[in-house]
Amino acid sequence: MFQAFRNIRIGVFIAFVNLLIQGISFFVQNFIARNLGTASYGHFGLLQTDYSIFCAIADFGMTTLILAFFGSRATKGSLFRSILQLRLFSAVVAALLMVAFAFTFRYNHPIFYGELIFTFGLVFQHAFFDWYFICGKFWKRLFVSKLLHTISYSAVMGAALLYFKIERIELIALAMVLAALPAFFYGVTQAFHAHLLKITRRTFRFIALMVKAGIPYAISSFAAFAYLPIGLYVADKFASAEFLGCYNFGHKILVLCSGIMVHFISSNLITLHSTHDKDLHLKDIAIFTLFIAVCSSPLWLFPSWILKILFFAAPWTDATLQTSANILQILSFSLIFQAARTTLISTLLKEHATRAYAVMVSVGGASNVIACMLAGLYLENAMIPLFALTGDLVITAILFGYFAHHGRVRW
């Protein structure tokens, strides 16, 4: 019981320090939208999604592996050196891949220079040393790092957007990279030593082993971008820049809410570890899903109000507000699907069925890409958000079918 309370307390603390910067970041999005305008803000959302994908490539499931397999040992001795070298290696590789992607797919796109600038952000991420603080239980240092980044981000972005009134995507991207530097260098002062750059044969063996072990986690992470974010790419390809901007408004709110849902999965995992019941109870799932449906109901009941409150500085017109409201109203039902499968995902992760989970997520993501592409090709733009829920529906059905097939579903 006491261990469970300690796990919950740690989970709440980690969620708090992450929501600290997420809240400020969302606040700053208001003024980015105001300075760029609806169309360019849609392109900027596409740039941020590209960056998130390459952040997932840089991580490659390593954070989960380090926390699960090594714990506090990851901060000591030769293992610490190997892990830090692994993180540096993966960040540099991801940056080079992002440069190649920019020249191959974004060369004549409005976000081309932003892509190149964000490659530096992959190496100098403010969260680069989070694994070190968490594994070592250096909670005060983690808080200082997040607080430092919050202050730096607020100051730099405030000056860029409000004082200099920057209206170019690449300059806003540069400001974001600069804002991350203080927290990055704070992590360097806490965890970095010159001898960590010593490369040995052990380094390459360790990297190869970790990459191999991280493949299921990485696939799950990459496949997640085939769900709601794919709507941005389809809108960029087949719809107008104005519609892309409207989609981005709804997408930003859903990303924030989905991030909170991840913490429910962590909380559920803690609860599952304290019980020995291997069955899934539909009553519990229904109650939790109803709870999330009630909490998220303002998104589909009053989408215009939510948009005007959360994006209070955005350059709204009647047309863009109505289009954005319709998109948010549709996308918000993703949260209900997420709630329905939270317990099922937690159970799979608890039982270390990561390969099965990776396959399920990939199948759901593939179906979502196909559905969205068909909608973009043959249907009106307004149908893209609806078809972007295909993956949510498919993976939820697969998960329930998997546990029902194994006779583990009870009322």
Q: What pLDDT digit, counting tens, does each position of 312-336 carry?
A: 989 999 999 999 999 999 999 999 9
Could you report the per-residue pLDDT of 339-394, keeping only the tens digit for each?
888 878 777 776 777 788 888 989 999 999 999 999 999 999 999 999 999 999 99
Q: Tell me, what's the pLDDT at 384?
A: 96
Site of tokens 């694994």: 131
What are the two backbone dihedrals, phi and then psi, of residue 410, each rounded to the nearest 5 degrees? -130, 160
Whether residue 370 lies inside any domain: the answer is yes
Q: In residues, how long is the chain? A: 411
Whether residue 221 lies inside any domain: the answer is no
Using the 3D structure, point to which of 153, 181, 213 is the last residue of a domain: 213
pLDDT at 274 over 70: no
Whether residue 131 lies inside any domain: the answer is yes
The answer to whether residues 183 and 293 belong to one domain is no
* CB distance 85 to 207 below 8 Å: yes
Q: Other C-beta atoms within 10 Å of 274: how many?
A: 10
H-helix or E-strand spanning residue 357:
helix 354-378
Could you report the per-residue pLDDT of 94-131, keeping only the tens digit for each?
999 999 999 999 999 999 999 999 999 999 988 888 88
Q: What DSSP assignment string belongs to 208-250? A: HHHHHHHHHHHHHHHHGGGSTTHHHHHHHHHS-HHHHHHHHHH
Q: Tell me, what's the pLDDT at 382?
A: 93
Residue 123 half-sphere exposure toward CB, CA atoms < 13 A = 12
The answer to whether residues 234 and 371 belong to one domain is yes
Average confidence score pLDDT of the chain: 85
Whether residue 126 lies inside any domain: the answer is yes
Q: Tell me, what's the pLDDT at 242?
A: 94
pLDDT at 264 over 80: no
Closest CA to 240 of 384, 48, 386: 384
Q: Tell me, what's the pLDDT at 178?
A: 96
Determine the Cα–Cα distance for residues 95 and 88; give it in Å rounded to an integer: 11
Tally the domains of the chain: 2
Name the residue with higher pLDDT: 404 or 232. 232
pLDDT at 26 over 90: no
Q: How confident is the model at residue 3 (pLDDT cuts 50, 70, 90)?
A: very low
Closest CA to 184 of 128, 228, 224, 233: 128
Using the 3D structure, point to which of 213, 246, 267 is the last residue of a domain: 213
Least-confidence region, from 3-12, 56-65, 221-230: 3-12
Site of tokens 């952000």: 121
Q: Tell me, what's the pLDDT at 164?
A: 94
* CB distance 270 to 11 below 8 Å: yes
pLDDT at 279 over 80: no
Q: What's the start-to-end Cα distance of the chain, in Å?
A: 26
Q: Which range of residues forms the domain containing residue 167? A: 2-213
The answer to whether residues 208 and 234 belong to one domain is no
Dihedral in degrees, nearest 10, Cα atoms 239, 243, 245, 251: -90
Closest CA to 49 of 189, 199, 228: 228
Whether residue 222 lies inside any domain: the answer is no
* CB distance 357 to 220 below 8 Å: yes
The answer to whether residues 8 and 130 belong to one domain is yes
Whether residue 265 lies inside any domain: the answer is yes
Whether residue 176 lies inside any domain: the answer is yes
The answer to whether residues 259 and 183 belong to one domain is no
Give Cα separations from 184 to 93, 154, 156, 181, 200 (angstroms).
18, 16, 15, 5, 25
The answer to whether residues 37 and 94 belong to one domain is yes
H-helix or E-strand spanning residue 409:
strand 409-410
Determine the Cα–Cα distance for residues 325 and 249; give it in Å rounded to an integer: 9
Whether residue 6 lies inside any domain: the answer is yes
Using the 3D structure, point to which of 190, 213, 236 is the last residue of a domain: 213
Q: Report the Cα 257 to chain-centroid distance in Å.
A: 11
The answer to whether residues 257 and 305 belong to one domain is yes
Q: Other C-beta atoms within 10 Å of 310: how many?
A: 17
The answer to whether residues 234 and 298 belong to one domain is yes
Q: How confident is the model at residue 10 (pLDDT cuts 50, 70, 90)?
A: low
Kindly report the pTM of this predicted structure. Answer: 0.87
Count each helix (H run) and each strand (E run) in the chain, helices first: 18, 2
Name the residue with higher pLDDT: 191 or 400. 400
The answer to whether residues 20 and 68 belong to one domain is yes
The answer to whether residues 168 and 87 belong to one domain is yes
The answer to whether residues 262 and 358 belong to one domain is yes
Q: Other C-beta atoms within 10 Å of 193: how many?
A: 11
The answer to whether residues 260 and 307 belong to one domain is yes
Site of tokens 């808080």: 143
Highest mean pLDDT among 80-89, 347-356, 391-400: 391-400
pLDDT at 159 over 50: yes
